[in-house]
A and B are shown apart, each in its own frame.
Chain A
Amino acid sequence: MPEKMSISVNGQSQVPPGFRFHPTEEELLQYYLRKKVAYDKIDLDVIRDVDLNKLEPWDIQEMCKIGTTPQNDWYFFSHKDKKYPTGTRTNRATAAGFWKATGRDKVIYSNSKRIGMRKTLVFYKGRAPHGQKSDWIMHEYRLDDNTVTNSDTNIVSNVMGSETGQEEGWVVCRIFKKKNHLIKTLDSPRSSSMNELLETRSSRTTHMFDSCNEGSLEQILEEMGNRSSCKEENNEGNQSERFLPHIDTGNNNNNNNNGFYYVDRFLKLPSLESPNSTSTNSQSCYQPIISDMVANQDLNNLVYNQMVESSSISTSGGGGLTNWAALDRLVASQLNGPSPTTFGYCNSTDHHDDHDQDQGHDHDLQLPTIRSSSTSSTTSSSSQMANYNNDIDLWSFARSSTSSLELPICHVLNADI
Chain B
Amino acid sequence: MGDNNVNLPPGFRFYPTDEELVVHFLHRKAALLPCHPDVIPDLDLYPYDPWELDGKALAEGNQWYFFSRRTQNRITSNGYWKSMGIEEPVNASTSNKKVGIKKYFVFHVGEAPAGVKTSWIMQEYRLPDSASSSRSSKRKGNPKTDYSKWVVCRVYEHDGDDDDNGTELSCLDEVFLSLDDLDEISLPN
Across-interface contacts of A1 in B (CB, < 8 A): 5
Instruction: Check if B160 sits within 8 Å of A277, measured CB to CB.
Output: no
CB-CB nearest in chain B for A181: B174
Q: How many B residues face the partner with a CB closer than 8 A?
A: 60
Interface residue total, chain A, C-beta cutoff 8 A: 87
Q: Kindly state the separation between the CA atoms of A7 and B9 in the bound complex, as whole angstroms.
A: 9
Q: Are A22 and B93 in touch, CB under 8 angstroms?
A: no
Does B73 touch A at the CB level, under 8 Å? Answer: no
Complex-state Cα separation, A191 to B178, whole angstroms: 12
**Which of B9, B164, B179 meets A46, CB within 8 Å?**
B9
Residues of A within 8 A of B178 (CB): 183, 187, 200-201, 204
Please measure, in the bound complex, the distance between the C-alpha atom of A72 and the C-alpha atom of B17, giving whole angstroms: 11
Given contacts A102-B176, A207-B171, contact A19 B15 (CB under 8 A): yes
Chain A residue nearest to B23 (CB atoms) is: A17
Does B117 belong to the interface (CB within 8 Å)?
yes
Does B55 touch A at the CB level, under 8 Å? no
Interchain CB contact under 8 A, B171 and A213: yes
Contact with A along B152-189 (1 / 0, CB 8 A): 00000011111011111111111111111111111111
Once the chains bind, are A413 and B171 in contact (CB under 8 Å)? no
Find chain B residues with CB under 8 A from A177 CB: 167
Give the Cβ gap from B184 to chain A, nearest Cβ, in Å.
Answer: 6
- From A27, A205, A223, contact of B176 by CB (8 A): A223
Q: How far does the Cβ of A287 sit from chain B's closest Cβ, in whole Å?
A: 15
Cα separation A43 to B159 with both chains bound (whole Å): 36
Question: Does B186 lie within 8 Å of A179, measured CB to CB?
Answer: no
Rounded to whole angstroms, the CA-CA distance of A211 and B171 in the bound complex is 7
Residue among B106, B117, B168, B187 with the highest chain A CB neighbour number at 10 A = B187
Pick from B159, B171, B183: contact of A267, CB under 8 Å: B159
Give which listed residue, A7, A178, A179, A417, contacts B183 with CB less than 8 A.
Answer: A417
Stretch at the interface among A122-130, A239-247, A369-377, A391-399: A122-130
B10 close to A23 (CB less than 8 A): yes
Task: Give the residue name and chain of the B residue nearest to A47 (CB).
Answer: B11
Which residues in B have their C-beta under 8 angstroms from that of A18? 14-16, 20-21, 24-25, 39
- Choose from B14, B84, B164, B174 the contact partner of A204 (Cβ within 8 Å): B174
Please tell me if B13 contacts chain A, counting CB pairs below 8 Å: yes
Is A63 an interface position by the 8 A CB rule? Answer: no
Closest residue of chain A to B171 (Cβ to Cβ) is A208
A3 in contact with B37 given A31-B11, A103-B177, A214-B171 (CB within 8 Å): yes
Question: Of the candidates B11, B25, B174, B179, which one forms a contact with A207 in the assembled complex, judged by CB atoms under 8 Å apart?
Answer: B174
Q: Given contacts A130-B185, A227-B179, is CB(A213)–CB(B173) below 8 Å? A: no
Say yes or no: is B12 at the interface (Cβ < 8 Å to chain A). yes
Known: A22-B13, A179-B168, A277-B84. A191 touches B182 (CB 8 A): yes
**Closest A-chain residue to B16, C-beta based?**
A18
Known: A102-B173, A131-B185. A73 touches B13 (CB 8 A): no
Other-chain residue from A214, A278, A416 in contact with B186 (beta carbon distance below 8 A): A416
Q: A280-B117, A416-B183 are in contact. Are A214 and B164 (CB under 8 A)?
A: yes
Structural contact, A215 and B172, CB atoms closer than 8 A:
yes
A220 interface residue, CB < 8 Å from B? yes
One of B12, B119, B174 near A280 (C-beta < 8 A)? B119
B36 on interface, CB distance cutoff 8 Å: yes
> Would A197 and B187 be within 8 Å (CB), given that A44-B9, A103-B173, A220-B175 are in contact?
no
In the assembled complex, which residues on chain A have CB atoms less than 8 Å from the CB atom of B171? 207-215
Chain A residues with CB under 8 Å of B182's CB are: 190-191, 197, 412-413
Cα–Cα distance between A91 and B104 once the two chains are bound (Å)? 48
Considering the complex, give the chain B residue whose CB is closest to the CB of A413.
Answer: B182
By a CB distance below 8 angstroms, the chain A residues around B36 are: 16-17
Assuming A3-B37, A183-B178, is B11 touching A23 (CB within 8 A)? yes
Answer whether A120 and B165 are a contact pair too, CB < 8 Å, given A5-B8, A280-B117. no
Other contacts beyond A16-B8, A187-B178, A201-B178: 18, CB < 8 A: A15-B12, A16-B36, A17-B25, A18-B39, A19-B16, A20-B12, A24-B11, A25-B165, A103-B175, A179-B167, A187-B181, A189-B181, A208-B175, A214-B172, A223-B175, A223-B179, A227-B179, A280-B119
Chain A interface (Cβ within 8 Å of chain B)? 1-5, 7, 15-25, 27-28, 31-32, 43-44, 46, 69-70, 72-73, 89, 98, 100, 102-104, 120, 122, 124, 128-131, 133, 137, 174, 176-179, 183, 187-191, 197, 200-201, 204-205, 207-215, 219-220, 223, 227, 267, 269-271, 273, 277-280, 412-417
List 17 contacting pairs A-B, 8 Å CB cutoff, sorted by A: A20-B13, A32-B11, A100-B187, A103-B177, A120-B173, A128-B186, A131-B185, A133-B180, A183-B174, A191-B182, A209-B171, A213-B170, A214-B171, A277-B84, A278-B158, A416-B186, A417-B183
